[in-house]
């Protein structure tokens, strides 16, 4: 057990019942609503299974973003929005581990393609101002955390000139423009 685990495990146990929760998942945001599905998967893990160590945050893994693949977005798609969230953080809102805008022609991303500084990806800062992929690392002792990748097909691209300071800006920009969505969930036990 590492020093950080020794220090933070009691806190994790104390906060075990505190979670952002399913009802606060970005998947329920009305701005992202769509009745059309996109199949989203990863060769790195199967839905509902543990996310392998290489894709976990530094200290637990290598913090490499996993490869992802998806079915073709519907006609009229101008841009793709990919978001990764942790719905089980002990905060009032899910933790955001990735907010990225992708070219419409992509049908997947290779391993490591979502790490900060990747070409052809526009990253949006999370609530802490971080960009790029931030792998799972739940609070020690807090229990199982669900990590969700959400992919949205957007009919109107967000212009590169539009300033995006966080996820709320993205929600405002895509409101009413989501054509389809996909979701992939993996887990990590603290």
Summarised one tens digit per residue, pLDDT across range 96-134 is: 999 999 999 888 999 999 997 778 899 999 999 999 999
Question: Which domains are present in the chain?
Answer: 3-189 (3.90.280.10)
Q: What is the C-alpha separation between 145 and 50, in angstroms, rounded?
A: 10
Does the reported pTM lie above 0.75? yes
Q: Contact, 43 vs 110, CB < 8 A? A: no
Q: What totals of helices (H) and strands (E) does the chain contain, helices first?
A: 2, 8
Collapse the DSSP code of 51 into the 3-class scheme (helix H, G, I; strand E, B; otherwise coil) and give the result.
coil
pLDDT band at 160 (very low <50, low <70, confident <90, very high): very high
Whether 80 has a pLDDT exceeding 90, the answer reads yes
Phi, psi dihedral angles at 15 (to 5 degrees):
-95, 10
Instruction: Give the number of C-alpha atoms closer than 13 A to the C-alpha of residue 85, restricted to the C-beta side.
Output: 23
Q: Among residues 64, 29, 42, 28, which one has the least CA distance to residue 149?
A: 42
Q: Contact, 10 vs 141, CB < 8 A? A: yes
**In angstroms, how far is the first alpha carbon of the chain from the final one?**
12
What is the percentage of the chain residues whose pLDDT exceeds 70? 98
Point out which residues pair with 41 in neighbouring strands. Answer: 69
């Amino acid at each position: 057990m590492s020093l950080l685990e020794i220090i933070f495990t009691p806190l994790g146990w104390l906060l075990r019942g505190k979670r952002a929760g399913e009802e606060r998942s970005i998947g329920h945001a009305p701005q992202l609503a769509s009745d059309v599905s996109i199949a989203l998967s990863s060769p790195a893990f199967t839905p509902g299974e543990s996310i392998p160590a290489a894709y976990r945050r530094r200290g637990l893994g290598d913090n490499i973003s996993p490869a992802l693949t998806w079915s073709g977005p519907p006609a009229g798609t101008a841009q793709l929005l990919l978001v990764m969230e942790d719905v089980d953080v002990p905060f009032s809102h899910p933790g955001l581990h990735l907010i990225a805008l992708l070219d419409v022609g992509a049908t997947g991303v290779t391993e490591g393609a979502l790490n900060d500084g990747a070409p052809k990806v526009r990253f949006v800062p999370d609530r802490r101002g971080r960009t790029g992929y931030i792998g799972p690392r739940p609070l020690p002792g807090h229990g199982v955390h669900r990590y969700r990748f959400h992919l949205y097909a957007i009919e109107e691209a967000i212009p590169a000139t539009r300033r995006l300071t966080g996820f709320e800006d993205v929600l405002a920009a895509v409101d009413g423009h989501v054509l389809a969505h996909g979701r992939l969930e993996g887990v990590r036990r603290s």
